[in-house]
C-alpha cells in the first residue's frame, strides 16, 4: 500500500579541492539522521557513503552537487559532478586503487577505499561516468523486507 | 527524571545566556529568566560551570556530614588532587587526609594502575571494535550514548579507576577491620560533576560502591595548610607513575603501552574525533583516550589550580617517580599479583544503552514532516543566533517551536515586526472615522 509520505531533502554544492569544507555534507546528514529513530548502524552506513561520495567530488572532480532525500523507509542520494569522469571504472572499484594527487595524499586521502566502501554500505549503487561527469546514485533501505 | 550533578542555582542565575552558547549538548534554555538544563541532553561536562560569570551553574557534591553514617571512612583521592600542590609529595597529601576525618586512604591512581593493566589485556583479547574508546570520563560515555550510539561497541567495558578503587578499598577494609561492608564508607574526592553523576547513575555496573563524593576544591581547602606541616608522613603512596599520570591528558593512553593510541581532550575536540571514527577513518588505531576537560582531569571544573600548571606538576611528579628507586614500592605487575583481586569483577556487568534524546519522534514519517516544518520556521527567523529567545541558535528555537516547547514570539525580531505591523494597523484605523462622526470632521477640515 503506497501512501504519500513526507520526505526531507538536503542539497549541497560541493567545490573541487575545497578540503577544508570536506565532510560538511555528511556532518549535516548525520545531524539530521540522529533526529530519526533509526538503528545506529544505518546512520553510520548512510554517513560513510555520503562522506566518500562528497570527498570524491572534492578530490577528483571539477566540482559538483549532492542531493539527498530521506523517506520514512529509505535514503536516496545522488552525487553528481561535471567531470573529468573516471577513466577505468573497473579499476576504480577495486580496493586500494587510487589516482589521488600528491596534494590529496598529503592530506591523508587516497586510500582507494571510497568507492568500495560506498558499495559495501549501500543497498543500491549505480555509477555513470564519462568525460562530462560522474553520477553516483545510492540508496540505503531502512526497512528490509523478509528474505533480503 | 535523570539525576545530574551539574545544576542551576536559580537565585544566582540572571538569565544572561552565556552558558547556553557554550553547552556542547545544546541542553540549556532560558525560561522565565533562568537558564534551565534539559536533563535528557546534559552530559555533565561542566562547560556551563566554566562559562557562567555569575557562578550560577554548579556541580552538586555530598555534604561532609555523610561521613558520620559510617564507622570506617576511606578517602579515594583522584590523582588530580596531587596536581593542586606545588612540588607535590604524595605521602604528605595522603597523611593530611587522615587528619581531616578519614580512617584510611586508597589512591585512585592505584585503581588506575590496575585498569591500565586490564585495558591492555582487554584490547589484546580483541572483542571490542577498534579503536577502543576509553570509558574513564563519564561525560564522554554519556556523549557516546546520546550522539554516537553506533560507537557503543567501541567503548572499553571496564570500571573506571574510581569504581575499581572503591571496590578494592572496601574489600581490603573488610579484611582489616572485620566490619560489615555497609559500615565502611568510601568517599571519592572528585575533580568534576560528571563523576558525581556516574555514582548516582552508574555506568556499566548496577550500583556504585562509592558512598559519597566530595569536591576536590573542598578537600584542598581542608588540607592545604596541613600538608607542609606534617612532620612524619606515613608511607601510604603505593601507586606507580602510570596511575598518577592519569590525572592529565595523555596519561591513560600512555598507560596502555600501545604504540597505536592517541589522546584527545576538550569536549569539542572529542566530538570531532568521534565523528571521524564514526566515518570509519580511524580503524587502524587501537586506543583512543578521550577526556571532556582540556588538559584531562586536572582541568576539571572542581579543581583549584590552573590546569596548565597542574599538568606540568603531574608530568614532573611522574617523571620523578620513575627516577626514584622502587625499593619499598611495588611495581604495577607485582601489585596486581600480590593483592590477587578478582579482576573479573572490574569488568562491566551491564552494557551501555543508546539514548533517544535526540529523536524528534519515534515515527520516522512524523519526524520527517517535523523537519520540514523546522526548515519552514527557520526561514522566518533572522539567523543571528543571538540567544535572546533563550535557545542557543535560531535552529534550536525552530526545533523547540515545532516540538511545541516555544513560540515564534520568543524571537524578539519577530515580536518587534509583529508590533510594527500592529502599530501600522492602529495608525490606519486611527485615520478612519465612523459615519456619524464624519460631519464634524468634514467641517473641521
Ligand atoms: N567523482 C570522480 N571523478 C573522477 N574520478 C573519480 C571520482 N570518484 C572516484 N574517481 C576515481 O576512482 C578512484 C578510486 O576512488 P576511491 O575508491 O574513492 O579512492 P580514492 O578517492 O581514495 O582515490 C579515484 O582515485 C579516482 O581515480
Ligand atoms: S554540564 Fe555540559 S551538557 Fe550539561 S548543561 Fe552544562 S554545558 Fe550542557
Ligand atoms: S575529563 Fe576528568 S574531570 Fe573532566 S569531566 Fe571527564 S572525568 Fe571529569
Ligand atoms: Mg575517495
Write down the ipTM of this complex: 0.88
Query: Per-residue pLDDT averaged across B302-316, rounded?
Result: 95
B381-417 residue pLDDT tens:
999 999 999 999 999 999 999 999 999 999 999 999 9
Same domain, B107 and B19: no
Q: Which pLDDT value is given to residue B339? A: 54
Is the predicted pLDDT of residue A82 greater than 60, yes or no? Answer: yes
Rounded distance between C-alpha atoms, residue B440 and residue B436, angstroms: 9
As its CATH architecture, domain A8-141 has 2-Layer Sandwich (3.30)
Check if B45 has its Cβ closer than 6 Å to any atom of ligand 2: yes
Residue B442 lies in a domain: no
Same domain, B247 and B163: yes
Antiparallel, parallel or unpaired: β A74-81 and A133-141: antiparallel
Residue B359 lies in a domain: no
Same domain, B282 and B388: no
Is the predicted pLDDT of residue B239 greater than 50, yes or no? Answer: yes
All residues at 6 or more sequence positions from B188 whose CB lies less than 8 Å from its CB, including other chains? B76, B78, B108, B162, B166, B195, B199, B210, B212, B213, B214
Q: Which pLDDT value is given to residue B172? A: 92
Same domain, B209 and B132: yes
B37-92 residue pLDDT tens:
999 999 999 999 999 999 999 999 999 999 999 999 999 999 999 999 999 999 99
- Mean of the per-residue pLDDT values of chain B: 91
Q: Which pLDDT value is given to residue B2? A: 76
Is the predicted pLDDT of residue B193 greater than 90, yes or no? Answer: yes
Same domain, B272 and B378: no
Rounded distance between C-alpha atoms, residue A30 and residue B56, angstroms: 33
DSSP bridge partners of B36: B29
Q: Which pLDDT value is given to residue A130? A: 95
In sign, the C-alpha dihedral spanning B395, B399, B404, B405 is negative
pTM, 2 dp? 0.90
Strands (E), B209-367: 212-215, 261-265, 287-291
Same domain, B266 and B292: yes
Same domain, B52 and B86: no
Pocket test for ligand 2, best of B2, B3, B9, B45 (most atoms within 8 A of CB): B45
Pocket of ligand 1, beta carbon within 6 A? A 52, 56-57, 59-61, 81, 85-86, 92, 97-100, 109-116, 134
**How many angstroms separate the CA of residue A32 from the nearest CA in chain B?**
8
Rounded distance between C-alpha atoms, residue B105 and residue B249, angstroms: 24
Same domain, B340 and B200: yes
Is the predicted pLDDT of residue B101 greater than 90, yes or no? Answer: yes
Query: Using the 8-state DSSP alphabet, how is residue B59 labeled?
Result: E
**How many angstroms separate the CA of residue B402 from the nearest CA in chain A?**
13
CATH number of the domain enclosing B208: 3.40.50.1780
Q: Which of A3, A130, A147 is nearest to A72 (CA)?
A: A3
Q: For residues B350 and B205, is the Cβ–Cβ distance under 8 A?
A: yes
Query: Per-residue pLDDT averaged across A20-26, rounded?
Result: 91
Same domain, B403 and B284: no
Is the predicted pLDDT of residue B197 greater than 50, yes or no? Answer: yes
Q: For residues A32 and A42, is the Cβ–Cβ distance under 8 A?
A: no
Query: Per-residue pLDDT averaged across B130-151, rounded?
Result: 96
Nearest atom in ligand 3 to B45's CA = 5
Rounded distance between C-alpha atoms, residue B189 and residue B311, angstroms: 18
Query: Per-residue pLDDT averaged across B258-282, rounded?
Result: 93
Is the predicted pLDDT of residue A145 greater than 90, yes or no? Answer: no
Write the residue with the smallest CA distance to atom 6 of ligand 3: B137
CATH number of the domain enclosing B42: 3.30.70.20
Cβ-count burial of B180 within 10 angstroms (0-12 exposed, 13-18 middle, 19+ buried)? exposed
Number of independent structural domains in chain B: 3
Q: Kindly give the residue spans of alpha helices, DSSP state H, lying in B292-390.
A: 307-323, 332-339, 364-380
More confident: B350 or B324 = B350
Residue B54 lies in a domain: yes
Same domain, B22 and B73: no
Confidence of residue B322 (pLDDT cuts 50, 70, 90): confident
- Ligand nearest the Cα of residue B43 is 2
What would the grid cell of residue A99 be?
589516482
Domain termination residue (choose one: B58, B75, B94): B58
Which chain B residues have a beta carbon less than 8 Å from that of A32?
371
Rounded distance between C-alpha atoms, residue B323 and residue B241, angstroms: 10
Say yes or no for a CB contact (<8 Å) between A35 and B358: yes
Residue among B275, B356, B368 minimizing CB distance to A72: B368
Instruction: Please give the residue range of the domain that contains residue B418.
Output: 364-431
Q: For residues B406 and B397, is the Cβ–Cβ distance under 8 A?
A: yes
**How many angstroms separate the CA of residue B357 from the nearest CA in chain A?**
9
Same domain, B244 and B369: no
What would the grid cell of residue B270 be?
572529542
The C-alpha cell 588530580 sits at B80
Q: Which pLDDT value is given to residue B334? A: 52
Query: Per-residue pLDDT averaged across B149-161, rounded?
Result: 95
Cβ-count burial of B190 within 10 angstroms (0-12 exposed, 13-18 middle, 19+ buried)? buried
Same domain, B311 and B368: no
**How many angstroms separate the CA of residue B118 from the nearest CA in chain A?**
28
Cβ-count burial of A88 within 10 angstroms (0-12 exposed, 13-18 middle, 19+ buried)? exposed
Residue B436 lies in a domain: no
Residues that place a CB less than 5 A from ion ligand 4: A 56, 114
Check if B390 has its Cβ closer than 6 Å to any atom of ligand 3: no
Q: Which pLDDT value is given to residue B121? A: 87
Say yes or no for a CB contact (<8 Å) between B367 and A37: yes
Residue B355 lies in a domain: no
Confidence of residue B259 (pLDDT cuts 50, 70, 90): confident
Say yes or no for a CB contact (<8 Å) between A40 and B354: yes
More confident: B179 or A145 = B179
Domain termination residue (choose one: B289, B316, B346): B346
Nearest atom in ligand 1 to A114's CA = 18
Give the three-class secondary structure for B365: helix
Amino acid at each position: 500500500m503506497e501512501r504519500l509520505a513526507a520526505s526531507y531533502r538536503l542539497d549541497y554544492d560541493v567545490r573541487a579541492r575545497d578540503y577544508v569544507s570536506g565532510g560538511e555534507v555528511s556532518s549535516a546528514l548525520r545531524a539530521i539522521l540522529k533526529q530519526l529513530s533509526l538503528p545506529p548502524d544505518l546512520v553510520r552506513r548512510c554517513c560513510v557513503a555520503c562522506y566518500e561520495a562528497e570527498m570524491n567530488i572534492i578530490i577528483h572532480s571539477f566540482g559538483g552537487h549532492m542531493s539527498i532525500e530521506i523517506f520514512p523507509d529509505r535514503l536516496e542520494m545522488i552525487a553528481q559532478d561535471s567531470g573529468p569522469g573516471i577513466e577505468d571504472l573497473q579499476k576504480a572499484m577495486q580496493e586500494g586503487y587510487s589516482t589521488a594527487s600528491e596534494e590529496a595524499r598529503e592530506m591523508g586521502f587516497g586510500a582507494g577505499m571510497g568507492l568500495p566502501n560506498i558499495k559495501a554500505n549501500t543497498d543500491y549503487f549505480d555509477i555513470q561516468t564519462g568525460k562530462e561527469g560522474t553520477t553516483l546514485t545510492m540508496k540505503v533501505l531502512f526497512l528490509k523486507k523478509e528474505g533480503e | 527524571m535523570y539525576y545530574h550533578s551539574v545544576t542551576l542555582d536559580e537565585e544566582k542565575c540572571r538569565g544572561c545566556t552565556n552558558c547556553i552558547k557554550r553547552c556542547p549538548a545544546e541542553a540549556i534554555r532560558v525560561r522565565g529568566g533562568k537558564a534551565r538544563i534539559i536533563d535528557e541532553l546534559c552530559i555533565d561536562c561542566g562547560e556551563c560551570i566554566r562559562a557562567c560569570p555569575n557562578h550560577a551553574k554548579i556541580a552538586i557534591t555530598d555534604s561532609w556530614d555523610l561521613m558520620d553514617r559510617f564507622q570506617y571512612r576511606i578517602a579515594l583521592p583522584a590523582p588530580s588532587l596531587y596536581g593542586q600542590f606545588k612540588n607535590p609529595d604524595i605521602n604528605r597529601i595522603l597523611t593530611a587526609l587522615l587528619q581531616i576525618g578519614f580512617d584510611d586512604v586508597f589512591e585512585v591512581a592505584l585503581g588506575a594502575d590496575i585498569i591500565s593493566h586490564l585495558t591492555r589485556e582487554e584490547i589484546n583479547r580483541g572483542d571490542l571494535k577498534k579503536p577502543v574508546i576509553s570509558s574513564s570520563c563519564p561525560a564522554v560515555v554519556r556523549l557516546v550514548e546520546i550522539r554516537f550510539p553506533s560507537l557503543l561497541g567501541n567503548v572499553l567495558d571496564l570500571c573506571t579507576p574510581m569504581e575499581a578503587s572503591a571496590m578494592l578499598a572496601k574489600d581490603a577494609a573488610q579484611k582489616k577491620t572485620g566490619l560489615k561492608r555497609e559500615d565502611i564508607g568510601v568517599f571519592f574526592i572528585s575533580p568534576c560533576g560528571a563523576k558525581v553523576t556516574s555514582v548516582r547513575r552508574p555506568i556499566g555496573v548496577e550500583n556504585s560502591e562509592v558512598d559519597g563524593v566530595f569536591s576536590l576544591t573542598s578537600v584542598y581547602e581542608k588540607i592545604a595548610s596541613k600538608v607542609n606541616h606534617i612532620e612524619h608522613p606515613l608511607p601510604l603512596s603505593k601507586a606507580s607513575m602510570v596511575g598518577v599520570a592519569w590525572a592529565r591528558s595523555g596519561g591513560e593512553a600512555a598507560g596502555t603501552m600501545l604504540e597505536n593510541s592517541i589522546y584527545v581532550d576538550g569536549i569539542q575536540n572529542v566530538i570531532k574525533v568521534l565523528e571521524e571514527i564514526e566515518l570509519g577513518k580511524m580503524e587502524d588505531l587501537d586506543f583512543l583516550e578521550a577526556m571532556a576537560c582540556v588538559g584531562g582531569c586536572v582541568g576539571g571544573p572542581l579543581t583549584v589550580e590552573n590546569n596548565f600548571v597542574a599538568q606540568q606538576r603531574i608530568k614532573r611528579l611522574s617523571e620523578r617517580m620513575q627516577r626514584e628507586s622502587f625499593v619499598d614500592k611495588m611495581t604495577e605487575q607485582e601489585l596486581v599479583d600480590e593483592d590477587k583481586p578478582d579482576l573479573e569483577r572490574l569488568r562491566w556487568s551491564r552494557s551501555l544503552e543508546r539514548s533517544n534524546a535526540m529523536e524528534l519522534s519515534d515515527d520516522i514519517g512524523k519526524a520527517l514532516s517535523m523537519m520540514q516544518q523546522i526548515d519552514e520556521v527557520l526561514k522566518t527567523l533572522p539567523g543571528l543566533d543571538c540567544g535572546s529567545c533563550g535557545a542557543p541558535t535560531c535552529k534550536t528555537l525552530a526545533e523547540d517551536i515545532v516540538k511545541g516547547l516555544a513560540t515564534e514570539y520568543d524571537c524578539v525580531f519577530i515580536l518587534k515586526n509583529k508590533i510594527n505591523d500592529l502599530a501600522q494597523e492602529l495608525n490606519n484605523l486611527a485615520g478612519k472615522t465612523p459615519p456619524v462622526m464624519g460631519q464634524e470632521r468634514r467641517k473641521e477640515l
